Amino acid sequence: MMLATLAEAAFVLDRADWLDAARRNGEFLVSRLRSADGSWHRSWQQDGSPQARHHALAQDLAHLMDGFTRLGEATGERRWIDEATSVAEHLIAGYWDDVNGGFFTNHSDGERLVVRQKDIMDNATPSANSTAALALLRLASLTGRSDLQERAFAVLKLLGGIVSSAPTAFGNLLCATHLAHVGTTEVVVCGDRPDLVDSLRGHWLPTTVIAWGEPYDSPIWHERRDGLAYVCREWSCLAPSADPGALIASLRKALGG
């Protein structure tokens, strides 16, 4: 949660020191809390052996996916989108309920419990399932992975019937539902155009994802020209923008403003 917050705040406020802290946090998580086999731990202690302990829960991986995705958007570094995708695949492989949908709290290879529970209510912190749904929707828009989007929709379908009974207990899930309902707007800035990237800072864009810097395998990057910015919906784009004013105008049009 700290990683996602730092990355988002660093981008919006153009704080290089905060972005550096977010990047160092991401490096720490990858180097210290992930095992050689790709599994994740949820606690780390300076002293003692092993330093990383306890298998990650679904909530941990959902927040990792969200944090790495937002770090990728903030830095323009492909590496973090790749890390977010890896975490998403690990979360789905080990925690997904193939019968009813949604994510179980513990890994399928974890401790045998009488019942495998699911974390579904947004209390002091967002639930595993709402965080995963929101992060999967954003990551799917950046990567073009429809399978990730389908998992997010399945979570919303699973919990949709109970949200109306206690909406204040599902605040984050309602954010995910809103994003799924209105759809994600994608912005991609190609080539070395820091002025176009800077024009996006300072705007509240909860239903927008941003790609810039290092390209990665995704329809968001296909057949794009360097030096231009594209505003897209499901990777179908408006006319490209060559200057900041035109980019913001296109973004407002896509968002219906």
| Domain-terminating residue out of 164, 183, 202 | 183
Regarding whether 221 and 244 lie in a shared domain, the answer is: yes
Do the Cβ atoms of 244 and 195 come closer than 8 Å? yes
Nearest residue to 208 via CA among 177, 183, 235? 183
Which of 54, 58, 138 lies closest to 102 in space, CA to CA? 58
Q: Which residues of 220-236 are buried (b: 16+ CB within 10 A; e: fewer)?
A: bbeebeeebbbbbeeee
Radius of gyration of the chain (CA): 19
* CA gap 155, 137 in Å, rounded: 11
Residue 252's nearest CA partner among 192, 175, 195, 200 is 200
Are 48 and 162 within one domain? Answer: yes
Residues 146 and 191 in one domain: no
Are both 188 and 167 inside the same structural domain?
Answer: no
Strands 229-233 and 236-237: antiparallel
**Same domain (yes/no): 167, 208:** no
169 and 211 belong to one structural domain: no
Pair (44, 165) in one structural domain: yes
End of a domain among 163, 183, 203? 183
Between CA 67 and CA 3 the distance in angstroms is 5
Same domain? For 139 and 208 the reply is: no
139 and 229 assigned to the same domain: no
Count of domains for the chain: 2
Q: What is the pLDDT along the chain (257 residues), one digit of tens a residue?
A: 999 999 999 999 999 999 999 999 999 999 999 998 888 988 888 776 668 778 899 999 999 999 999 999 999 999 999 999 999 999 999 999 999 999 999 988 866 766 789 999 999 999 999 999 999 999 999 999 999 999 999 999 999 989 988 999 999 999 999 999 999 999 999 999 999 999 999 999 999 999 999 999 999 999 999 999 999 998 899 999 999 999 999 999 999 86
* Residue 39 lies in domain: 2-183
Are residues 249 and 233 both part of a single domain?
A: yes
Determine the Cα–Cα distance for residues 184 and 176; give it in Å rounded to an integer. 11
What is the pTM for the complete model shown?
A: 0.95
Query: Are 176 and 193 found together in one domain?
Result: no
CA–CA gap between residue 38 and residue 178 (Å, rounded): 32
Q: Does 111 lie in the same domain as 144?
A: yes
Euclidean distance between the first and final Cα of the chain, in Å? 30
